[in-house]
Amino acid sequence: MNIAEHFPALVIVIPLLFALITWLAGLINRAFCWVIALTITFLCFLMSFSILNTVMHTGRISYHMGAWEPPWGIEYAIDYLNGFVLVVVSFIAFIVTLYSRKSVGLEIDEEKSPAFYSLYMLLFTGLMGMTITGDIFNLYVFIEITSLSGYALIAIGRRRNSLMASFNYLILGTIAATFILIGIGYLYMVTGSLNMADLREKLPPLYHSRVVLTAFGFFTVGLSLKLALFPLHIWLPNAYTYAPSVVSAIMAATSTKVGAYAMLRILFTVFKVEFDLNVVPVTKILLVLSCIAIIAGSILAISQTNIKRMLAYSSVGQIGYIVLGTTMANQTAMTGSIIHILNHALMKGTLFLVAGCVVYKTGIEDISGLKGMGQKMPFSMAAFTVGALSMVGVPLTVGFISKWYLATGALKAGMWFILPIILISSLLSAIYFWRIIEGIYFAPAVSSQHSEVSTYRSLDHHNPHPVSRSRDDAPPGMLIPTLILAGLCIFFGIAAYIPVSVAEKAANMLLGGT
């Protein structure tokens, strides 16, 4: 028996099992929890990578849970798209776990840390499950696993504001998940099938049936709520602002991305492209909404004073980019959209991790408090700068690659009006990031305990004096993961062909090619 054949099941079963074991191990010694979480996420990353590798060589993998043949049994189907998303999710989860030890120690009560890692593993299981499953009801179950652990993780911190944020997310998240459940019920009513590939074959004769149209409506609204598309984003800013830093980072970097992936699945795998283009004008509706999301997210981000809240609003705009690419229904824009799933995970991950570093060292969450941080925390701030440049879309960073593909795709689709929208939003993000970066490097520190001279000296590496009292960066355990993500922002901005080669195949597959 070849163990590699069972990776698709193991990648879900292992974190699910260890969610419990982590908590039990925490009863013996709390230090075990972090080690277990780190090992498991790394193991899952390796397995996802191996799965993607197999997919790239042999094509779609279909794993039958318990050897029940689809469409009766649950099928785990991995193709280019979700193989790619699996690797992204497991990698980000690994990096955030690596980062989490110190940050969790600071922001979460000591006795809650086993529960935190247990929930974290559950969230990870849910995200991986949403990505890997080829069964639509299984998708719903994993959406609920992700959401429930997400609500608990947001509320686990010490700040009381997080409770209301979590409760509001719970109410909206339940509405979204129940809408998806109703949609599944309607599709099951008319087709008698829950398997995505099977539904794809059975649905076309029924495309004009009112039941299918209603189901599609429920799916679109439910998933838009989950991925926080513009008018349905209201749960997101509070949840990301008040959650512990680690939770904000993992949720901003992966959970909305997986929501976007689920939407791609429903729009382009369960339903065919022809349905989205000809039967229901869903691509047009989403196009308008995502354009509004891009602009509104950037404008709202400018007016924020809290770093995490600003990043949250900028996420709303970036989710707009992901949806925008899918609505043009051509290969280039779709590639841009899929690659933005990776790219946004990298840059938002970096930025939220830096925000966590700053909170860890100084407790500052206000943008004005970042002044002069360039001397105090040079490495964190360098990572922040890379992330910020990436968000703006400067060449040689990942942000540029996604914007390039989206813009080229828009031209191919003949939608020239998208170009100024991308341009304006890049300018707006340049404004809100420049405001911070200027403060970091060019403004004197707020609490100026050191004279200007000593501040300048700390920049000088040949300074014989010990590298000034003012330099006080985050501990290496937090700094290294942050720098890895920041490094990857640049690496994939230069070696863009690596993710693009996968994303192009995935886009081609979604649009009906082979």
Partner 1 sequence: MIEIIIGKYNYWIYITLMMIGFYAMIAKGNLIKKIIGMNIFQTAVILFYISTGKVWGGTAPILWDKAVIYDNPIPHVLMLTAIVVSVGTTAVAIAIVIRIYKEYGTMEEDAILEIERKQAEELRKGNTGQREI
- Interaction site with partner 1 (CB under 8 A): 137, 141, 144, 148, 151-152, 155, 160-161, 163-164, 166-167, 170-171, 174-175, 177-178, 181-182, 185, 188-189, 194, 366
Cβ at position 171, least distance to partner 1 in Å: 6
Identity of the residue, 371 or 403, whose beta carbon is nearer to partner 1 in the bound complex: 371
Identity of the residue, 149 or 248, whose beta carbon is nearer to partner 1 in the bound complex: 149
Identity of the residue, 174 or 508, whose beta carbon is nearer to partner 1 in the bound complex: 174
Cβ at position 279, least distance to partner 1 in Å: 23
Tokens 């791609």 found at: 264
Identity of the residue, 222 or 493, whose beta carbon is nearer to partner 1 in the bound complex: 222
Cβ at position 329, least distance to partner 1 in Å: 32
Is the distance from CB of 482 to CB of 313 less than 8 angstroms? no
Tokens for 469, please give them. Answer: 């009292």
Return d(Cα 77, Cα 477) in angstroms, integer: 36
Cβ at position 290, least distance to partner 1 in Å: 25
The answer for 342, left when phi > 0, alpha when psi is -120 to 50, beta otherwise, is alpha
Rg (Cα) of the chain, in Å, rounded? 22
Return d(Cα 482, Cα 476) in angstroms, integer: 10
Cβ at position 174, least distance to partner 1 in Å: 6
Q: What are residue 61's DSSP bridge partners?
A: 78
Q: Could you count the other beta carbons within 10 Å of the beta carbon of residue 17?
A: 14
Identity of the residue, 304 or 318, whose beta carbon is nearer to partner 1 in the bound complex: 304
Identity of the residue, 365 or 473, whose beta carbon is nearer to partner 1 in the bound complex: 365
Identity of the residue, 130 or 170, whose beta carbon is nearer to partner 1 in the bound complex: 170
Tokens 């992700």 found at: 146
Counting runs of H as helices and runs of E as strands, what totals does the chain give? 22, 2
The H or E element containing residue 76 is strand 75-78
3-state secondary structure 200-239: HHHCHHHCCCHHHHHHHHHHHHHHHHHHCCHHHCCHHHHH
Coil vs helix vs strand at 444: coil
Cβ at position 456, least distance to partner 1 in Å: 24
CA-based nearest residue to 336, from 223, 413, 239: 413
Identity of the residue, 69 or 420, whose beta carbon is nearer to partner 1 in the bound complex: 69
Identity of the residue, 366 or 472, whose beta carbon is nearer to partner 1 in the bound complex: 366
Q: How far apart are the first and last CA of the chain?
A: 30
- Cα torsion through 115, 176, 124, 106, rounded to 10: -40
Cβ at position 2, least distance to partner 1 in Å: 31
Identity of the residue, 89 or 148, whose beta carbon is nearer to partner 1 in the bound complex: 148
Cβ at position 162, least distance to partner 1 in Å: 10
Is the distance from CB of 184 to CB of 137 less than 8 angstroms? yes
Cβ at position 496, least distance to partner 1 in Å: 40
Identity of the residue, 122 or 478, whose beta carbon is nearer to partner 1 in the bound complex: 122
String of b and e for 411-431 (b: at least 16 CB within 10 Å)? bebebeebeebbeebbebbbe
CA-based nearest residue to 225, from 212, 213, 215, 234: 234
Cβ at position 79, least distance to partner 1 in Å: 25
Cβ at position 391, least distance to partner 1 in Å: 26
Cβ at position 129, least distance to partner 1 in Å: 13
The H or E element containing residue 64 is strand 61-64
Is the distance from CB of 38 to CB of 97 less than 8 angstroms? yes
**Pairing label, strands 61-64, 75-78:** antiparallel
Return d(Cα 136, Cα 186) in angstroms, integer: 12
Is the distance from CB of 432 to CB of 302 less than 8 angstroms? yes
Handedness of CA 341, 342, 345, 351 (dihedral sign): negative
Identity of the residue, 155 or 510, whose beta carbon is nearer to partner 1 in the bound complex: 155
Coil vs helix vs strand at 15: helix
